[in-house]
A and B are shown apart, each in its own frame.
Chain A
Amino acid sequence: MSWSALDASLEPPDPALSRGRRRLVLVGVLFVALFAGLGLRLLHLAPEERTAEAAPEPAPVEPLRRRPDLLDRRGELLATDVPVPSLAVDPLQVGDPRRTAERLARIVGGIDPSVLERRLVKAKAAGRRFEWVAHRVSPAAERAVLEAGLPGIVLRTSEHRVYPKGHAAAHLLGFVDIDNRGLAGVEHALDHGRLSALRDAREIALSLDLRVQEALRDELGRAFREFRAIGACGLVLDVRTGELLGLVSLPDFDSNLGGGARPEQRKNRCTGGSYELGSLFKVLSHAAALDSGRVRVGQRFEIPPALRIGRHTIRDVHPARRPFTAAEIFSHSSNIGTAQMVFAAGGAEPLRAMLGRLGLFERAPLEILEIARPQVQKSWPDVVTATVSFGHGIAVSPLRFAEAVASLVGDGTLVRATLLKRPHDAAIEPGPRVASRRTVEDLRWMMWLTVADGTAKKAAVPGYLVGGKTGTADKPGRGGYRRGAVLASFVGVFPLDAPRYLVLAIVDEPKATAASGGTRYGGQVAAPVVGSVIARIGPLLGVPPSDPAVEARYKERWSAMRPTAAVATGGPRLAALDPRR
């Protein structure tokens, strides 16, 4: 029987029949209501719950705040984050702590099963739901743990900082702790210092050039080992832009294992230490004297065997036996001559003004935080002026000194070092002028003379006009200067006809060897390092050979000023500078 048949019946009402119909309708309505209810319930229930379930499903693989990648100036990867699994357990879900501990110890390694077991039991008793087992396990160990099918295992992926180039630029890059927080160098500065604005960048291009860095580390490391030094610092600075292309402090460490490095390895000697740089400082005091206008390059000075100032006596390592021109005072590195020059130029006042203009009394504003404060005397009586003129009684960081020399030899405007790569199209904004063009030109020439016919002949590089200044500074100790402990150094600039790069090398406490001719002078220890570095990085950086015309002009100037027959000619060496050979 169908509904329509029921509906269509038009027979006279039979009370029994109509009762039956009413009941049927009632049952029908009940069924419809039931199905409708079920349908609605279905609609309401099932898909709703399942979509709600699906929402957290895309497991956040990159939930952590990544650190920016660090690149060198050519895009080489220096530091990056890599996702690495870490292993933990939920102690409440662990049924058999002993078995779990033993199996995990077998898979992961480096875990004492009995210690882990005790920890698990303790955590379980305390009702804790999370206990670390091992940070940073290998992918193979991760798979083995999953395959073991132990209950209560938690695997968490976390970011792990890696430094693919190991030792390269460890002092600049720095390192991070287990939670990826920066503890030194650029990493530290990203979290707490001047680079924190870049913390959320995807990558940061540093001014470093990995090739330069490696050449510098290689050559400096050779001197460091050969002279059994206790430390060394080397840096390469772009004289025009202030970009640091390389910075090496020895002994160094592997950034991947930064936390395990010893303090002497961690110390950044180029920026984090202040040193009395000795004769290197004559670059600055000569610049001050020449820039005062009261001293000329060709002016002659009597050089007495000893200079008495009050109770103090100043001597030269190699006493001069004739009057020196200012240029010769520089190239022969005479302490007495330099002091006399500075006094002839007006004493403390012009020297202090020059050092102040160069920023030697302040900390270098580099991006990293490991920057030493300079140590300067409060008052400048004559004896302080004299000692400062040849680099004692004032301690500055090598970086700060390099900036000062770059400012003076570049184009006479202030240069500020930076660790960030300068955009290609950025115009170079010259800083305030610190020395006149004439002083710059004189200084370049005197630095050339030092390499061509002075204390730094070992820094000469065929093809390039190299200029520089050597330093051999006594190291201060308790109650005066220590006997036999020196800082051998050399600052070089090339190519002198259009200065582009500054290379500084400092070797801390070298021991005299046969290779250095039994001496520890900067000219024997540090100048060869700078020479080799320049020979290696010059072609890499695309620096063309120097213009022979400039060298000819320099030679001419020297022969015009040179005291007749008093100095042996540098004939063969000067000839070797011809780039065509």
Chain B
Amino acid sequence: MANFILYRLFQSAIVMLIVALISFFLFNFVGDPISNMVGQETTVKDMDELRQRLGLNDPVIVQFGRFIVDALQGDFGISYRLQRPVEELIAERMPATLELVFVSAIIAIGLGVAGGLFTGLKRSHWFSKFILTTSLVGISLPTFIIGILLIYIFAVKLNWLPSFGRGEVVDLKGGWSTGLLTVSGWKAIILPSITLALYQTTLILRIIRSELLEVMRTDFIKFARARGLKSRDINYGHALKNTLVPVITVTGLQIGSLIAFSIVTETVFQWPGMGALFIQAVQFADVPVMSAYLILVALFFVVINLIVDLLYFVVDPRLRAEIKN
């Protein structure tokens, strides 16, 4: 078991190294970093000096090594646009994104699992058909249209919820600013989190449903019925648990994509998170911010994948046995 974890950690480190390499090359290929930094009046001599001072004349491998060492210490350089350390900017913006993703994930998993169970177990119920039809809408409409629709209905027409921003935030110790402690914060998070969660909800719902239909046909479910078990035990104990391995895989990846997809939602709702920061960085070719964001999102994916792999063991004894040997 420990070996397996070490092995997976090693794999994760390699993935991160490759991502770091890509984001490192961003610096060298997306424009000349020196001309991005200096003004128009700077002489060529000054530019060469700056290039020398920043170590940009060193061999690529030395520069990459320096990039990695800095990144490990949380140093991603200075934002071209805002002239502030990137790690500071990200630390400021991260709570907003993570809270949005957290609420969306809860909505997506809660509604997805409940809807998947209902449509999978009561296939011919009219409500199942209704859920499946509406879930098609969730899958096929682009996020920003749903966001704009929600703003139009609930903010503009009904005037129930704010159309942008995070509402009032409270600063917690450690520099974390939360919107989840104020009423206006909760009001502000409803529309963006629903917008962000909708696609993932329908995906989780449909996967649970199709896995459930598959599992319900297996011999051990038939045998469980023949043993006279209660349908509650069969449905939740045996059927649902057997759908979990694929569901965990997809759900894990989807939480990763929630972080990645929050860019669009944050733009629509002017949510002051990392996604909005990234979009602005792209517009200004603010390479340090872009590369730091890239590495961070990759890190989230890697960590989630690691957790997913560990959850497999909790669920499936066959995998535990495989690793032991």
- Mutual binders A and B: no
Binding site for B on A (CB under 8 A): none
